[in-house]
Amino acid sequence: MGGVCAAAGRGAEAVFLNPASLSQLEADAPSEIALGYDALLESSYSGSVAYARPLGRDAAFAAGLLYASQSAQTKYNALGDSTGKFAPNDLALGAWYSRRLLGPLSLSGGLKIIRSQLDDRSGMTAAVDVGLLAKHIADIGDGPLDTGVSLLNVGPPLKLGSASDPLPARIRAGALWHVAPNFDAGLDVNLPVDQDPYASLGVEGRLPASVIGSAKLWVVSLRGGYDQNRTRGVDGFAGFSAGAGFDFSALRLDYAWLPFGDLGSVNRITIAFRF
């Protein structure tokens, strides 16, 4: 959905984008574990594991891990001679808690431990995430409107050797309009500390089994979106995205394709199990 997730996030992996998404879990919902893999540009890739479970009627807990790396890079000495290879990598391990407050409002927060390694040097820091979700704050036509906001990666800089870099903190705010029972449209505004603000748009249409008269508990989803940030400095077809999801009650599979113009494309896949 073009990265729209401030109010649209669902599933265990949504905790990485707005931890208040945990409040979407119903009290009697099963636990969920989601495994994600992103084939990024060139030889880069990332992966994730997220676990979420409800804690009674008004609370939920999640834990997750994010990992990013690329293929081995050649290192050189001061004379320009090759001295071997290394593979840079970044890892974040976190836990989050969400609670429903009075009315439609839910508040959540979490702590992440972040580690980065570059050849023989590594650094570690911590960061805080905060999320807010408000369900059905208004009606547009016959469709309710949800809103959400998250503040991510707030913490001290990450230091590698003598170099220190601030964390990529950001504020994301957005809304999700339930246009029809099986069709949603969303808008997010992103305010990263290290880039100019940008907007994302997304839509999702769902086909539940009941629509075609089946008693089976499955849903097929089609998604599309546009992310303004992915068009910056990129030539060719970029910014748009498309994807599909298949939810079979105990098993969920999601796929997204994101073109980056002349640079290539990114493929994302998530498989989740409920138990």
Mean pLDDT highest for which of 173-182, 212-221, 228-237?
173-182
Average pLDDT for 235-247: 96
Q: Is the pTM of this model over 0.75?
A: yes
Domains of the chain listed by start with CATH number = 12-71+85-274 (2.40.160.60)
At residue 14, the pLDDT reads 94
At residue 85, the pLDDT reads 85
Indicate whether 13 pLDDT > 90. Answer: yes
Closest CA to 230 of 219, 222, 238: 238
Q: Please tell me which residue, 217 or 230, carries the higher pLDDT value.
A: 230
At residue 260, the pLDDT reads 95
Q: pLDDT tens digits for 41-86?
A: 988 999 999 999 999 889 999 999 999 998 888 888 888 888 888 8
Distance of CA 166 to CAs 69, 100, 115, 230, Å?
A: 19, 32, 13, 22
Residue 90 CB coordination number (10 Å): 15
Residue 228, classed as helix, strand or coil, is helix
Q: pLDDT tens digits for 80-128?
A: 888 888 888 999 999 999 999 988 899 999 999 999 998 888 899 999 9
Distance of CA 245 to CAs 8, 26, 116, 222, Å?
A: 14, 21, 32, 7
CA-CA distance, 257 to 109, in Å (whole number)? 30
Phi, psi of 107, rounded to the nearest 5 degrees: -125, 140
Q: Which amino acid is present at 189?
A: V
Q: pLDDT tens digits for 146-168?
A: 999 999 999 999 998 888 889 99
Cα 85 to chain centroid, rounded: 31
Indicate whether 275 pLDDT > 90. Answer: yes
Range scoring the smallest mean pLDDT among 82-91, 202-211, 216-225, 234-243: 82-91
Phi, psi of 99, rounded to the nearest 5 degrees: -140, 135
CB distance 6 to 148 below 8 Å: yes
At residue 143, the pLDDT reads 95
Average pLDDT for 254-275: 96
Q: What share of the chain is helix, strand, coil (3-state, %, to 5)?
A: 10, 65, 30
At residue 147, the pLDDT reads 97
Q: pLDDT tens digits for 168-210?
A: 999 999 999 999 999 999 999 999 998 999 999 999 999 999 8
Q: Which amino acid is present at 208?
A: P
Phi-psi region of 22 (alpha: psi -120 to 50; beta: other; left: phi over 0): alpha
CB distance 144 to 138 below 8 Å: yes
Distance of CA 1 to CAs 38, 82, 137, 244, Å?
A: 16, 43, 22, 10
Average pLDDT for 227-243: 94
Q: Token match 């008004």: residue?
A: 58
